[in-house]
Amino acid sequence: MFNIILDKELREIIGTTKFAVTFGVCAVLILLAFYVGARNYQVSRQEYEAAVAENIQQMEGLTDWGSIDHRIFLPPQPLATLVSGVSNDIGRTVNMQSRGELRTEGSRFNEDPLFAVFRYLDLEYIFAIILSLFAILFGYDAVNGEKERGTLGLTFANPVPRDQYILGKIVGSFVALIVPLMIPILIGCLMLPVLGVPMDMDSWLRLAMVILAGILYFGVFLTLSVFMSTLLQSSSASLMALLVVWIFAVLIIPRTSVLVAGRSVDVPSVDQIDYEKSRFAAQLWNERMTAMQKWMKANYNDDHRQMRDGMRTFSTEQQALQDEKMNTFVEQLNEQRANKSDLRTGVALSLARISPTASFSLAASDLAYTSMELRSSYVESANAYQQEYSAFMQSKNVDYWGRYRRHGGNDDVEEPDPIDTRELPVFSYQQPPISEAIKASLPDLGLLFMFNAIFFSGAFVRFLRYDL
Amino acid sequence: MLQLLIEKELKAILQSPKFIATFGVCSILIMLSIFIGVREYRASLAQYEIATSLVDQKVAEATSFRNMQTKVYREPDPMQIFMSGVNYDVGRLSQIQSKQDVKLEQSAYSEDPLFAVFRYIDFAFIVQVVLSLFAIVFTYDAINGERESGTLKLVLSNAVPRAKYLIAKMTGAWLGLTIPLLIPILLGLLLLFLFKVPMTGSDWLKLTTLIGVSILYFTFFIALGLLVSSLTRTSSVSFLLLLVAWITLVLIVPRGATMAAGQLVNVPTVAEIESQKDRYRTDMQQDTDEQRHNLWEQVMAPAEGLPREERRAFYQANRSAFRELAEDLQTAMEEEIAEHNRQVNEGLRNAKSEQERLAFLLSRFSPASAYKLTAMNLGGTNTSIKKRYEDQMFAYRETYNSYVAKKSQQEKKARQEAAQKSRNSRMFRMTGSGNEAVDANDMPKFIASREPVGTAIKASILDFGLLSVFTVLAFAGAFLAFVRYDVR
């Protein structure tokens, strides 16, 4: 019996023009998203490699390691082109220094505001916005439509168990809609390596999970639509209601909840933090000047060269001490801000999760490494590299005066050799382990599953007592 | 006759439960978007004021004019309440320093990526997405719905000219849907007064124009609904078609067009440009160092071969002269570098505006893009925001640099005089001046001017015209279709 109902559902959906049109549109969009995504990745990758090469090239011919301008860049993430998340909003370049705090700059949208105007048509957008409408379009008249057409009464004139009927309806619609969509998705996935996007085992697994999240999300809207059609008498009423729910869930709630909750927690602004830091730095500078003055009074020596060397040693010691102080201070300040910021994020996103769309977007961007985690992991990576870089610079005897040695006007220096840029340690961004990404996305996947379960059981229970 | 028909339309619309529900939703959303916009504006304004006062404080605490640097910020604009555009994507501030390029950095989104996850909601967003859907939901069965319920042939069996009927339908739909929407809009505007948002006369003019364009945009979708309704037999088919059209026009074309332009036009990347600039600077620095070395040799030439103490005395005597010449070299170099950077930036900007023009051209196939672009022009949050501010900040940098240079000179002179009086001149030089703050009360302030109303409105004339053309075409199409509609 169940199989017959399933079969009927499948035929009812797949044969229609409605299906042909909407499936056509979705298939084209999905293929376009994969294709353009792959192309964008290529372009981003070329840009990245050109930037790295240019960075090295402008150092060629320099004779002093102390005078180089070194920049590191965030490489493009393969899945970022399918789920853009915040990858275009965070800075991708870091001016590397051997000491001091590192800053990211040059976000894609700041450099190219054109793309910020309408943003990207990526896979996540298609799932979140278009597939959900698709689901509503096919589920809104699942039950009350049949009642209006009179076929519901006819069906139940036969000994058809109600539970099997509603089960068959839901599963049937789901299968009829999802399985055809898998075709363009799989073609798209195949396009990725063909178009030169490097996908390793981890990336495939993450992509598979993003698609799974998309399927769950689709299921939420499908079960919701069927549920709504058991609640309301006329199909046009349920369509209206579903469109209103769609507008709120997809467009309004995620944005509004972040904005409302975001302002309810007070996080010190970046400007304030910067001011505190520069103030502390100025204080330290004054302290150092006083210490230097004292030292010079105590160690005044007629032999200028000896005094200069002594002063240099003392100054280096002082600088190291002060760096420690500065680092501790900066760490403290950053930690305080990070704690408040994390609290704010937690509140805002929890509120946003009322909408399944928010859950889906968050899960997808966690899996694609384009969530807010991207910035923190990039900064962490940069900080780790800074240790390596600083050690390298020290090994090249570049001290804090290194940069100024050239300006001394010495006339007894021979022509030094140009630096060998291959000696410079290479920055490689370490992606966080896949287990972290999966762990981060599990709560959202769980929520999506829960929504499915709630709406499914709602539809089920309502239908058991439905007035035919 | 016409009046009668219009009244019938109005009654049908205003009394339907569909209207009450969807109108309620739209009103809430319009007011919500304005409320949130106002709150965000006030938060931005507060942040801006704190930031600028911190900058002022830092200047007040500075102890020397040498190497003084400052930051200038973009002031929040009340119009961003209605259309946030790229306001939060573009940098908020620029460093002002003699050796550094003027460049907007630290956008609101890059500093607080939380808000970039789902982005902002503003009035223009609600109009663009929600109100257009609202319009479709009401007009999708304007004609074929009446046909299905049988009332169409009843009406036309009387001496009702088809043209009048359609005009009445259009007018009735327009009046019944647009006029009520003015209520939440006006209530939303009331919030501006309530929260004391500083709106100038030109801001009000821009806002009125924005509301006008929003109404035109909404009218287009009414016309579109009528068009599709008079082209199809059943209302479910027209609804499906309209939904697909809506998805395509509002959700897909704008993004798709930008992506296409991104693929078609090649623009050098920031990283390339930055490295190019770095390389030029390095080359120039090497040149200057060479020149300075030669200068040094020149200056020291007369002392060639002399014993050490005499050489040192000679060096002391000529040191300040040498220093001045060396500094002149450095300044000349900086000027050349600044000029080169300016040219490179200019080249980049030209390539980017090529790309932008193509993207917007392609996207204008959809009235939703035309609307958004106009709204951004009026709200002052379009893509030219970067250029506008960077140009003004560049001009400010010139003023600032000459002020700091002048003050630096004065300070140096004062210090030299003090140094001559003190025996430990060397120590004095090395440890800097005293710890008193400098007097920077006469420092020039950065005051940005917003885009004049005339320019903003002129920029939106194209899109305004485009929307009108779309609307007129849709109405004309509906007209032609209805005149030949089979009412049976």
Q: What interface predicted TM-score (ipTM) does this complex get?
A: 0.85
Residue A356 pLDDT: 95
Q: Out of B117, B269, B430, name the one closest to residue A372 (CB).
A: B117
Q: Domain limits of chain B?
A: 1-263+367-488
The verdict on a CB contact (< 8 Å) between B54 and A275 is yes
Interface A-B: count of C-beta contacts within 8 A? 255
Q: Out of B25, B107, B113, name the one closest to residue A372 (CB).
A: B113
Q: What tokens does B419 get?
A: 């140094």
Residues in chain A: 468
Residue A414 pLDDT: 53
Residue B17 pLDDT: 82
Which of these, B43, B27, B59, lies nearest to B440 by C-alpha position?
Answer: B59
B349 touches chain A (CB under 8 A): no
Residue A286 pLDDT: 85
The verdict on a CB contact (< 8 Å) between B272 and A263 is no
Residue A398 pLDDT: 67
Which residues in chain A (58-117) have CB-CB distances under 8 A to chain B?
58-59, 61-62, 67, 69, 71, 73, 85-86, 89-91, 93, 104-107, 109-117
Rounded percentage of chain A residues whose pLDDT exceeds 70:
96
Beta bridge partners of A104: A94
The nearest CA of chain B is from the CA of A133 a distance in Å of 9
Specify which of A39-43, A132-136, B160-164, B344-348 reaches the highest per-range mean pLDDT.
A132-136
The verdict on a CB contact (< 8 Å) between B275 and A244 is no
Average pLDDT score, chain B: 86
Type of residue numbered A63: T
Q: How confident is the model at residue A322 (pLDDT cuts 50, 70, 90)?
A: confident
Q: Nearest residue on chain A to B265, judged by CA atoms?
A: A43
Out of A452-456, B412-416, B435-439, pick the least confident: B435-439
d(CA A453, CA A216): 11
pLDDT over 80 (residue A61): no
d(CA B141, CA B119): 34
B114 touches chain A (CB under 8 A): yes
Which residues in chain A (347-406) have CB-CB distances under 8 A to chain B?
348-349, 352, 358, 361-362, 365, 371-372, 375, 406
More confident residue, A416 or B418: B418
The nearest CA of chain A is from the CA of B52 a distance in Å of 9
d(CA A382, CA A102): 8
The verdict on a CB contact (< 8 Å) between B263 and A55 is no
Are the C-beta atoms of B52 and B209 separated by less than 8 Å? Answer: no
pLDDT over 70 (residue A410): no
A232 touches chain B (CB under 8 A): no
d(CA B109, CA B88): 6
Residue B469 pLDDT: 94
Q: Out of A39, A105, A114, name the one closest to residue B383 (CB).
A: A114
Q: Nearest residue on chain B to A33, judged by CA atoms?
A: B256
If you ran DSSP here, which 8-state letter would residue A129 be given? I
d(CA B481, CA B384): 42
Q: Burial level of A94, CB count in 10 A (0-12/13-18/19+)?
A: buried
Which residues in chain B (168-227) have CB-CB distances under 8 A to chain A?
none
- pTM > 0.80: yes or no: yes
d(CA B195, CA B35): 9
The nearest CA of chain B is from the CA of A47 a distance in Å of 7
The nearest CA of chain A is from the CA of B119 a distance in Å of 6
C-alpha distances in Å from residue A190, one per residue of A177, A196, A199, A204, A212: 21, 11, 11, 11, 17
**Order of strands across the sheet that contains B91-96:** B70-73, B91-96, B105-107
Q: Out of A255, A272, A286, name the one closest to residue B435 (CB).
A: A286
The 10s digit of each residue's pLDDT in A182-213 is 999 999 999 999 998 999 999 999 999 999 99
**Site from B53, B259, B319, B352 to mutate, A interface, most A CB atoms within 10 angstroms:** B259
Which single residue is written with the structure tokens 């599963």? A171
Q: Indicate the angle between helix axes B162-194 and B453-483, nearest 10 degrees.
A: 150
B36 touches chain A (CB under 8 A): yes
d(CA B358, CA A370): 28
B51 touches chain A (CB under 8 A): yes
The 10s digit of each residue's pLDDT in A146-168 is 999 899 989 889 888 998 999 99
A20 touches chain B (CB under 8 A): no
The verdict on a CB contact (< 8 Å) between B263 and A270 is no
d(CA A399, CA B21): 72
More confident residue, B430 or A427: A427
Residue A378 pLDDT: 93
Average pLDDT over residues B95-120: 85
d(CA A262, CA A199): 36
User: Pairing relation of β-strands B105-107 and B70-73?
Assistant: unpaired
Average pLDDT over residues B15-21: 85
Q: Burial level of B3, CB count in 10 A (0-12/13-18/19+)?
A: exposed
Residue A268: phi and psi, rounded to 5, are -60, 140
Residues in chain B: 488
Residue A207 pLDDT: 94
Average pLDDT score, chain A: 87
pLDDT over 60 (residue A403): no
Which of these, B337, B416, B432, lies nearest to B63 by C-alpha position?
Answer: B432
The verdict on a CB contact (< 8 Å) between B279 and A255 is no
Average pLDDT over residues A274-293: 86
d(CA A91, CA A201): 28
Chain B residues closer than 8 Å to A269 by CB: 47, 50-51, 111
Which of these, A174, A131, A145, A227, lies nearest to A451 by C-alpha position?
Answer: A227
Q: How many CB atoms lie within 10 A of CB A335?
A: 10
Residue B458 pLDDT: 85
d(CA B158, CA B169): 16
Type of residue numbered A126: I
Q: Out of A69, A239, A251, name the one closest to residue B278 (CB).
A: A69
d(CA A227, CA A238): 10
Q: How confident is the model at residue A462 (pLDDT cuts 50, 70, 90)?
A: very high
pLDDT over 70 (residue A401): no
B289 touches chain A (CB under 8 A): yes
d(CA B422, CA A168): 98
The 10s digit of each residue's pLDDT in B425-459 is 555 444 444 556 777 778 888 888 887 888 888 88
Rounded percentage of chain A residues whose pLDDT exceeds 90:
38
d(CA A432, CA B371): 42
d(CA B401, CA B405): 6
Chain A residues closer than 8 Å to B50 by CB: 269, 271-272
Q: How many CB atoms lie within 10 A of CB B60?
A: 13
The 10s digit of each residue's pLDDT in B39-92 is 999 989 998 998 888 888 888 877 777 777 788 999 998 999 999 988 999 989
**B293 Cβ partners below 8 Å, 6+ apart?**
A411
d(CA A352, CA A344): 12
Q: Out of B252, B352, B376, name the one closest to residue A29 (CB).
A: B252
Helix (H, G, I), strand (E, B) or coil at A73: strand
Residue A229 pLDDT: 94
Average pLDDT over residues A327-343: 89
Which single residue is written with the structure tokens 């509004």? A256
